[in-house]
Amino acid sequence: MSPRKMNPRESAAFIASVSKDVQINPDGIRKVAAEIARSIASCEFEPSNMMIHSYPLPVTEDESSIEWLFVADALNFSFWAAEENAHYSVELHGKQYTGYMALCAAITRALEAGIPITSSQYYVNITKEEVDKIFISSTGESIPLLDDRWRILQECGKILNATFDGKFYNCVKQSENSAKKLLDLIVLNFPSFRDEGIIEGEMVSFYKRAQILVADIWSIFKGQRLGSFSDIDSITMFADYRVPQTLVHFGAMIYSGRLHDLLCSNHMFLNGDREEMEIRGCSIHSVELIKEELKSYAFNAMEKSLPMNSAMIDYFLWEYRRRFAQALTKVPYHKVRCIYY
């Protein structure tokens, strides 16, 4: 009999308990919580707002945003570059975006050019050449893992047309305002979102892209209407390669000398390597501990704000890394070329 697959929160707690190369530091956990509390008190970070900066994300709270977010998060992976100053970038309206936001800019650019990139009827038959043209960087280079993005777009289009009448909106409706049910529907129906692994004989899951898709819908709709998930706290943070940088920067996570040396040498990990799973699992568990620590803080005028759950803490940490990118370059991050993050 195969072992029971743990959900991301259970997986993170288990991984943290057996981790050899990543240690969670309580002092660092408290330091992160204090910084979040300070940022909220100074209105530098508002939990009612998904992002601190202005990014090319959908602003309309309607069905079109659901389809937009589905395409974005289906392709939300592997934007890092071997050279720190050569990241995937896209220019939109005179502004240069990098990483995931470059992907968002490319989607917006395509829609403004009349290309229906958020329609499953279009991308189910999209060609590799079209994908390359739509998502090409401003420097003329192809987006990383072009073949995988092409395959995933076609695969998702086929599944949507066969199972959900061509719209991810119908999948969201089936969730009946449950974040957990929507997560289960995504993982069950869309193979490219099955972000899982095995460590010490136990099946663990991370579900970075699936969880961020749920949380993005919740955030765009500010927890209302289509984003009204009564159990949004069932979602953890989104284990990638950037948020761990912020956690290490604050001392919430500490790497062993061996792992630190590997990271500094630009070692290329494989998806499923123990070191990779330890970093991701301990990141999730760290955010769970930060969430608990934040309960000791009294926030003013929080009634109209979204709750400080794991997703919101992730948004803060991810934004922090972008705001202070130069300062955080001294913190090495793990490099993996895969479709899961």
Give the catalytic positions in this structure: 240
Beta strands 335-336 and 268-269, pairing class: parallel
**Beta carbons within 8 Å of 217's beta carbon, 6+ residues apart:** 65, 66, 69, 172, 182, 226, 227
d(CA 338, CA 148): 9
Tokens of 66: 């659901």
Closest CA to 242 of 104, 99, 144: 99
Closest CA to 142 of 152, 129, 151: 129
d(CA 117, CA 202): 39
- Computed from CA positions of residues 103, 104, 105, 107, in that sequence, does the dihedral angle turn out positive or negative? positive
Tokens of 112: 């403004």
Contact of 161 with 121, CB cutoff 8 Å: yes
Q: Residue type for 258, please?
A: R
